[in-house]
Structure 1
Amino acid sequence: MTPRLARAGGRHSLAAFWRRRLSPWRTRRLLEAHLVVLTLCALVAAGALFLSCRQIQGGADALARDEAPAVQGLAATRLAVLRADHEARAVREMELADLAGSGESYQAQLSAADQGLSRIADRTDQDLGTVNGLLATYSTSIILGTANRDQPLMARQKLAEARSLLVRCRVGLVPRLEAMQRVQMKHAETTATEGWAQRGGWWLAELALAALALTLLSALFVLRDRCGRDWNPYLLAAFALTVLLAVVPLLTMSSAQDDLDGVVEDLRQITRVSEEDEGRKLSDAQQTVTETSEEVRRVLADDTWTDRVYQGTAIGGLLVAVLPAVGLGLRLDSDYGRRR
């Protein structure tokens, strides 16, 4: 037997198998059963896809709107107050307090710390009232400690008071900022991490799409074998759309999830860098935090393609439910509706 005849025989045997399996069913009931299964599979697949895509979109939006700016702001504030303290003490030790412009550097850092806390006030659910109060008190003490050159005893007292406000265990400004940053980092990780429910949603969507594709092929075979019809364009379009829905959203959202994982890693780097306490390296740490924060903002802002796929998934899910209903509904009406 030639290979061509063998392939032809295989196709005929497969068709005969399906005919034997479907022979006890009346054609009308068989088409109606296909319509019910197609509708159920399409609804499950569309719902699971929509929710899974929405979770990633929602996580990206929350990360860009609240979590990432809060982590970045807390890190920048911590570095700013540490650098302000380092430079203020350098000014005092070198007895430059009376020189014009000698206090501009640490005062600029104090201003940056205050602005950083103001920017994240509406981006975190943590209470910033105590931290703001500590920062204001610390700013007053450090300014008095560097300005009172004629009263060295008072200056030393104010500098000691400022240092205590800054680093006192658990209740100082820096330990409080560190604790808040750890909490905010956990929030960011939770927001960006793909959980078991989201992974289960993708599995459910893919399984429902696979069942939908197989049922569409079965419906096409029934129409061609029992009704003597050529390929139904509605069912063919639904099959092509099913394949697209099984591939494009999954690949696109997987890429988006990889971007979110990269953003979380960048935020971890910002947290590690912000723990730098040595004065000579604080400016380098601030530069690193600024550059990494810009990269995080760029990645989170570049989601145009993801938005389009999300919208396309919603439309495709609707069409993949409507097209089979229209295709089989018209065929049932044409073949059986007029006989009633």
Structure 2
Amino acid sequence: MATSACQGLLLMALVAAVLSTASGTLQYDFYSYSCPRAEEAVRNATVKIISEDRTMGAALVRLFFHDCFVKGCDASILLDESNSNPQPEKLAIPLRGYDAVNTIKAAVEAVCVRNVSCADILAYAARDSAMVTGGFTFAMPGGRRDGLGSDLSDIPANIPSPSMQVQDLTKSFGAKGLSTLDLVALSGAHSLGQTHCSFVTPRLYPTPRLYPTVDPTLNATYAGKLRSFCPQNSGGGKVLNNNNVTDPNVLSNQYYRNLGTGEVLFTSDQTLTSDAGTAKMVLDNAASPVMWMAKFAGAMVKMGGIQVLTGTQGEVRKVCGATNSGS
């Protein structure tokens, strides 16, 4: 194992190599002239938020993922109900972090009025959440503009299901321009956060549609622990940590070691070991935390370029929960 200083230098070199392929529609240091303190303001606010509630790191990363996968990275996930958006995306899935994003937006507005988009704030906050929870950072380009619409009916066709198999996951990520390497790297974010029992019980109890017996890919001891925490009729209210033997507020490659022992919660996680190609990536990420960090960083930047609005497209919102027209 190299020293932490050497790891840091290696990671910086690896990330630089990965980031060189990022979308040309966005720019690094985008606000260097128009709002030079923008990224600092986001970082300071994000660090403060997570220091006061460690679970917010996972929440901000998840918001970024949901935003980019549905309509592209345009902050559509942040819009509240309105006449023009009567059923916004946020009504479909109970996500956390909206108040945190509003707090970060207010911090940015305090240094530059109506200059930095909510879409960029969400991207920077996700990047800085990785810094706080994972101990590494990377450059994130800016220049995204905020969208004008949000519709919960867009969710089902775009957000991957936790019951998906690897072939469907590959198609889902491929439709967004993300590779299988990106899929496996980004899945490491499941080292963070919590989930509801309702997403796990189908693997724990026989169901004709999914598993005629307990999911055989689950570690038997781990399955027993999960059954004790999530009884068959426990409903969806109880929450449990996303992984075994790890801090749910730390982003790390422990997730890949858990895959190797069958101690992950979702079918969409364990299925990564069922294909020879993705299984090799899992082993590689488990063996080298620094290499995984570089892959994760590159995939986050790549995801942050999905269907972005730039130039005069969209707008820069005054507040993240509403369009500037307020309609």
TM range (shorter): under 0.3
TM-score by length of 1: 0.20
TM-score (norm 2): 0.21
Higher Cα Rg, which structure: 1
Richer in helix (by share): 1
